[in-house]
Amino acid sequence: MKGVIYKGIHDIEVEDLPMPEPTDKDIVVKVMRNGICGSDLHAYNLGGDEIGIHPGAAIGHEFVGIVSAVGNDVTDIKRDDHVFINPSLAKKQPGMLAMAGGLSQYNLIENASLNHNVFKLPKDLSFDKAVVIEPYSVGIHGKNLAHPNKEQSYCIFGAGPVGLAAASGILLQGISNVVVVDIDAERLRFASKLGAKTINSSKDNLKESLISLFGSGKGLMGDPRVGVDVYIDCVGIPAFINGFIESGKFGAKFIVVALGDKPVTFKPQFLAMNETSLIGSAIYTEADIKEAINNVSQPDNLFPEIVSVHYPLEQSKEAFERANNDKEMVKVVIDVNN
């Protein structure tokens, strides 16, 4: 079989790899589709040591496929099941999400357990749609930390896959007070298709636009502030956190999903005085994954249309270059097997 091996900055190779053999507690998955993630591109451009992608690693973690072999002790998963794999739990060694082997034609899933690291998919859900489940789950987890309800308003920074997933998840709960902020007009058009309001922050004053949509709130001292209840950051730009600290209303929440790597400086007194909350969001739970699978399976859910282009496995280098350089690409997918 063949798989993509990370060699270093701007260096990946499709290599011949040994066919995995399951022990009694494992399964083997024939990988059908794998999406290229921002963390993959981070390693491709800047090096992956700080995010757990090391030279020699079999990379890829946004993948779905078909069970091709089952260990003797695995009773709740069968050959030919269509599955999504939780990449953070695909291997025994913790912290292996970014090296889960989703860009290998066959992938060993260790200690396989249904609804833990293996999730069955409806047979009528195409792999071309199912491939978005992993980033969708990330967005779902971020929005679920806010415990969404129809009384709240939501501002989502970033119209990439994760931001659009958070918006989609909230909207599918029947909540309409959702705005997506970005600078890319095409991505904002897609957010509008999902049903979200949009702000192009390269053209419009963000604070004024948010007040226009959701009104003004107040701080502890009665000072006027932006009336948004929940902010979900899927970009990682320090200015968004600083803007929240300076103008978030009393009791507002700011959920950090993006892996921003720039320092943020603010005065903690503003958090205390307005009882605002900064909340970190790390990957997803089993419940988030199940919600994502259910949402993606809905025939009227437009989110899977974020897939911009497909490449065959042997053109993985070209796929990474396209995802890296063509900003119109929302999600680039590699067809690991056909």
List pLDDT tens digits, range 282-296: 999 999 999 999 999
Residue 97 to residue 84: CA distance in whole angstroms: 14
Residue 112 to residue 20: CA distance in whole angstroms: 14
Higher pLDDT: 182 or 327? It is 182
Tens-place pLDDT, residues 236-254: 999 999 999 989 999 999 9
Q: What is the pLDDT of residue 218?
A: 85
Is pLDDT at 169 greater than 90 in this prediction? yes
Residue 171 to residue 193: CA distance in whole angstroms: 11
Tens-place pLDDT, residues 297-310: 999 999 999 999 99
Residue 159 to residue 330: CA distance in whole angstroms: 9
- Is residue 39 a contact partner of residue 259, using CB atoms and an 8 Å limit? yes
Residue 35 to residue 33: CA distance in whole angstroms: 7
List the structure tokens of 2.
């063949």
Is pLDDT at 96 greater than 80 in this prediction? no
Question: What share of the chain has pLDDT > 90, as a percent?
Answer: 84
List the structure tokens of 273.
């005085």
Q: What residue type is assigned to position 79 of the chain?
A: R
Residue 152 to residue 150: CA distance in whole angstroms: 5
- Is residue 125 a contact partner of residue 149, using CB atoms and an 8 Å limit? no
Is pLDDT at 102 greater than 70 in this prediction? yes
**What are the C-alpha distances in Å from 18 to residues 147, 157, 252, 254, 287?**
45, 42, 52, 46, 34
Q: What is the pLDDT of residue 52?
A: 80
- Domains, the chain, ordered by start: 2-135+284-335 (3.90.180.10), 146-280 (3.40.50.720)
Q: What is the pLDDT of residue 141?
A: 99
Give DSSP secondary structure letters for 156-189. EE--SHHHHHHHHHHHTTT---EEEEES-HHHHH
**What are the C-alpha distances in Å from 49 to residues 54, 60, 287?**
5, 15, 30
Higher pLDDT: 311 or 53? It is 311
Place of tokens 């502030």: 225
Higher pLDDT: 270 or 312? It is 312
Is pLDDT at 94 greater than 80 in this prediction? no
Tens-place pLDDT, residues 184-236: 999 999 999 999 999 999 999 999 999 999 999 988 788 889 999 999 999 99
Residue 181 to residue 201: CA distance in whole angstroms: 6
Question: What share of the chain has pLDDT > 70, as a percent?
Answer: 98
- Is residue 145 a contact partner of residue 255, using CB atoms and an 8 Å limit? yes
